[in-house]
Amino acid sequence: MIVVVGAGSFGAAIGHCLARNGHEVVMLSRNADRVAALNSGEAMPDYPSVVRPVTLFATLDTQIISKANRIVIALPTQQTRSFLDLHHQLFSDVPVLLLQKGVEKETGLLPSEIARQYLNAEISVLSGPNFSDEILMGIPTATTISSNNESIALAWAALFKSNSFRPYVQTDMIGAQIGGAVKNVIAVACGIVQGLQLGDNTTAAIITRGLAEMARLGCAMGAKKETFLGLSGLGDLTLTCHSIKSRNLRFGIVLANSERWDESTQGTVEGYHTAFSLEKLAQKYSVEMPISQCVLKLIRNEILSKDIVAVLMSRDLKQEVF
C-alpha cells in the first residue's frame, strides 16, 4: 500500500497515476470534504471525465502512515516540518518520495534536508514539468525521480511508468530540488513581465538568465551543472514561465499590477516564500541572483514593478556565463 500525504491537486494526480497502474493508494487528507469526494463516485473530483481507479481511497486517519509500504509526501514546503514534527513517529523505514518544490523560508533548507531531520527512510524527490490536470487526463508527461541511491529511484520509476507518464532517474537530489525551487521565483518574474506587457524578448531573457541563477546557486551547493538542462531544471522552468496555469506566473501578474493575492482562496504560491529563502542561500554561498532579488524587493515593496527592468538592465557589463 502506498500512502500519499496531502490530497491537493498534485498529490491527487500522483496518487491517481500510481493507482491506475494497479497499486493500492490511500490519500491522507485533513479535509473531510476532500476525503468524501475522493471516496465517492466513479470520477475524480473536479474532473468528471477522469475515472477514479478502484484501488484509490482516501482517509482522515493519520495512523494509515504506519501501515504503508511506501509513502509520498505532497504537502507544501512550508507545511512539511510541522507535519513531520507531529507525525514522524508513525513513519517506519519504508521509502519516502517528496513532491515539494521550494525551500523552507525560516531555515533555507531543502525538502529532503527537512525530511532527514525526522526520518531514517530512503528519501527520493520527484520533480519536473508536471501540471496536475494533464497528469490526471493522461496527457504524455515526463518527470525526474532523484535519489542518492539509484536503485531506489529506479524502483519508484517502475511504479509510475505508463504509456502517459515517463520517469527518468538521476542521483543529483540537490540539483533537482534547487531547480524546482528557483523556477518558482523566475516564473513570478515572468509574470511581472507579462503584467507590464513587456513582450517576448524580455520573457526569453528572464528565463535564460534565470536558468543561469538556478545553475550558479545549485552548483555552489554541490549540484551538477547538467542537471539544470534536464526536466527538473530547464524543463520545469520552461513550463512554469510560459503557462497561465502556473500559480507563480499569475502571482507575478498580480504583483506587477499592485494587486493582492489571497492564499486562502487563490492557493499557495511557493515562489513568494522561496524568494525569501533564496536571499539567504545566495548570501550563504556568495552567489549573485539579481532576478530573484528584484522579485523579493517587489514583494517587500522596496521597488516599483516598473523599475525592475531598469535595475536589471543597468547592471555592469559582463561575459555571458552559464
CA gap 274, 264 in Å, rounded: 18
Check whether 149 has a pLDDT greater than 90: yes
Q: Place 266 in a pLDDT band, splitting at 50, 70 and 90.
A: low
Check whether 299 has a pLDDT greater than 60: yes
CA gap 296, 289 in Å, rounded: 11
| Lookup: cell for 88 | 514522524
Query: Is 47 labelled a binding residue?
Result: yes
Query: Is 247 labelled a binding residue?
Result: yes
Average pLDDT over residues 211-236: 98
Measured over the CA atoms of residue 94, residue 100, residue 101 and residue 107, the dihedral's sign is negative
- The predicted pLDDT at position 265 comes to 53
Q: Which residues are catalytic?
A: 183
Same domain, 145 and 178: no
Query: Is 31 labelled a binding residue?
Result: no
Q: Is residue 165 part of a domain?
A: yes
CA gap 193, 212 in Å, rounded: 18
Q: Place 311 in a pLDDT band, splitting at 50, 70 and 90.
A: confident
Check whether 41 has a pLDDT greater than 90: no
Same domain, 68 and 102: yes
Same domain, 71 and 85: yes
CA gap 284, 278 in Å, rounded: 10
Query: Is 201 labelled a binding residue?
Result: no
Q: Supply the range of the domain harboring residue 282.
A: 174-313
Q: Is residue 319 part of a domain?
A: no
- Shortest CA distance to 77 belongs to which of 104, 108, 113, 115? 104
Q: Please tell me whether residue 143 adopts helix, strand or coil conformation.
A: strand
Query: Is 30 labelled a binding residue?
Result: yes
What pTM, to 2 d.p., does this model score?
A: 0.94
Tally of CB atoms within 10 A around 313: 9
Question: In this structure, are residues 217 and 292 in contact, taking their beta carbons and an 8 Å threshold?
Answer: no
Check whether 268 has a pLDDT greater than 90: no
Q: What percent of the chain has pLDDT over 90?
A: 87
Same domain, 224 and 118: no
